[in-house]
A = this chain, B = another copy of it.
């Protein structure tokens, strides 16, 4: 923990594995402390004393032991038993070297609605804790039987008035109920004993199930954690920022990367709160290039398609089998050096008999590439080591969660990335009215979706748009756009909600580069005349388009003739055309945004997927 940074903790329940796996992952990701979840300890073969020693060895404090349930507001006969249970927990905590226990507001049918009784019994518990040098943090569960708001838990703590009794705040329990975090500032800082942080998507469902299955790390969901945590800090809280996230996906994921994802989420939040954890992300000004990785055969198909799209082969890398293709100021690199990566690790690949192609790297134009690199490091995305030749640029790159490399470029610099290439001498004209890269669409396995959004948000400073879902031929698909402040860099994250097995033949997780085009209809006309591999869109689509929108017959006829797709939102219109699929998973798109259209044409994505499936079935 550096000077000026808060203490960072994580509840063991956030991570998958045995307690030993979890502690190792938390320490490796750089956490300062842990909340030990009782069930993790119960299943461990190590005694609490050994676990405590292990934590100290790993540099982890045991900041909280949890949860202790159904303690307060019970009839006197039950109190003795509850105090007996508490003493057993204190025994365990003593061995662990932990002095703070979490008590959740009761859900017991035995409890009564009596704040005075709850306060008196918690006072007695605090007395017992204090006698052993310990403290009690009382938390209002969102589904607590009588106490389910932090205001109520604070009233009881205030009434109990014991120095060893304070409040634990959990952002989920407050924000899921629409609670107002501003009132937190009315609680004295020294009575705020602990702070648990979790984000979540906005879901209209039973709050217990929402909490148990769908929490997310801060920055991945829809909660305003900056305001929430800001209020807690303003109240004078000086304890750890601790993550407590119950999530079905994280619970089954490798705990190593999950702990890094968790740490990144805290650093982004700290950044938002004004802690000096990272320099601000420099302004971006578009894509410098996108790199496709492919085998030699597929690379030939890709470059033939690029030629149709008006790109010229303008450069060759000085030391690697990488070609630069250029149309105006838009650059695509085609790399046949490394086999295209498959990100869906551990699954059989239905496209294995096809050539391989993938988006291997994105390069963004950064106002300050070195600062971008430092920010990435601060956000726990280490700079990748790269081999390079004597004349090559020292490009900084980091790896996104799905394995895509992200480069920070300053194309104007003398030693910019273009100096890595020998010019072929082939001229590059601006053709087909292509003006740049509109967006890059990256398909994520369902268990990397939220992690990927957080990565691009924290490292590049892109802001995520709302998650949309649509039904597609091979499963429900989630789509989330990410956009920089200037609107110059767009990434579309896509992925099926679930996926297992080998169905979805050859088109399971395509990726693509969408080029901005000033006149898609004209470009599509030229592509057709040129015999380009444009994806054929069926008549049924245009009949339906007509039924839905009642388009001008001439426009409809043109769209139909050239396989151009159409969408409309409140702000404008969208024309787009796709190429066929190359290798197992890459294609191109030309898009034209008319007016303020802000989407990605996802309404048309199922039609495109079915068409790619036909292309594959026919070949």
Chain B residues lying within 8 Å of A607, measured Cβ to Cβ, are 42-43
A97-137 to B contact mask, C-beta < 8 Å, 1/0: 00000000000000000000000000000000000000000
B498 touches A539 (CB 8 A): no
A447 touches B39 (CB 8 A): no
Interface residues of A in 298-349 (CB under 8 A from B): 344-348
Chain B residues lying within 8 Å of A546, measured Cβ to Cβ, are 88
A474 to B22, CA, bound (A): 11
B252 touches A504 (CB 8 A): yes
Report A23 CB to chain B, min CB distance, Å.
13
Chain B residues lying within 8 Å of A39, measured Cβ to Cβ, are 471, 606
B447 touches A541 (CB 8 A): no
Decide yes or no: A475 and B610 within 8 Å by CB, A16-B504, A348-B346, A502-B346 being known contacts. Answer: no
Decide yes or no: A84 and B550 within 8 Å by CB, A45-B611, A614-B45 being known contacts. Answer: yes
Q: Does A384 contact B (CB under 8 A)?
A: no
Interface residues of A in 455-500 (CB under 8 A from B): 471, 473-476, 496-500
Contact of A610 among B43, B81, B502, B541 (CB under 8 A): B43
Decide yes or no: A43 and B541 within 8 Å by CB, A17-B474, A614-B18 being known contacts. Answer: yes
Which one of A47, A48, A610 has the greatest number of beta carbons of chain B within 10 Å?
A610
Contact of A499 among B42, B206, B213, B500 (CB under 8 A): B500
Report A551 CB to chain B, min CB distance, Å.
13
4 closest cross-chain pairs (CB), A and B: A252-B475, A205-B205, A204-B206, A43-B610
Given contact pairs A88-B543, A254-B503, enumerate 19 new A-B contacts (beta carbons under 8 Å).
A17-B474, A17-B503, A17-B613, A39-B471, A43-B538, A43-B607, A45-B611, A46-B540, A47-B540, A81-B550, A204-B205, A204-B206, A248-B498, A252-B497, A253-B503, A254-B502, A345-B501, A346-B501, A447-B498
B252 touches A496 (CB 8 A): yes
Decide yes or no: A500 and B206 within 8 Å by CB, A81-B550, A611-B43 being known contacts. Answer: no
Decide yes or no: A543 and B447 within 8 Å by CB, A43-B611, A538-B44 being known contacts. Answer: no
> Closest residue of chain B to A344, judged by CB?
B500
